[in-house]
Amino acid sequence: MVIAFKKLLAVVMIFSMGSLLSCAELKEAGRTIGHTTRNVTREIGHGTRDAAKEIGHGTRRVVNSIGQETSGSAQQSLPDDEQ
């Protein structure tokens, strides 16, 4: 009976050591996945921010150029006596 108990205890200890090692591997894998996800998400966010800025700047330039063209043409189209 004592020999069976020692064998069972040895099997349980081996199983627990294996479980602890596999937990460490799972923790490391989770950390790697988490950090990769964080970095990719950050890059996507920065790219989106930069694209939005460029669109805003381009839109502002177009609106300003249209405003300059219309203000110049409005003055030119007025009759001579109203200028």
Question: What type of residue sits at position 30?
Answer: G
Which residue bears the tokens 């300059």? Answer: 68
Cβ neighbors of 22 (< 8 A, separation 6 or more) are none
**What value does the mean pLDDT take over residues 55-78?**
77
Task: Give the global pTM.
Answer: 0.51
pLDDT 10s digits, 2-46: 788 778 888 888 877 777 777 778 889 999 999 999 999 999 999
- Residue 21 in tokens: 């090692």
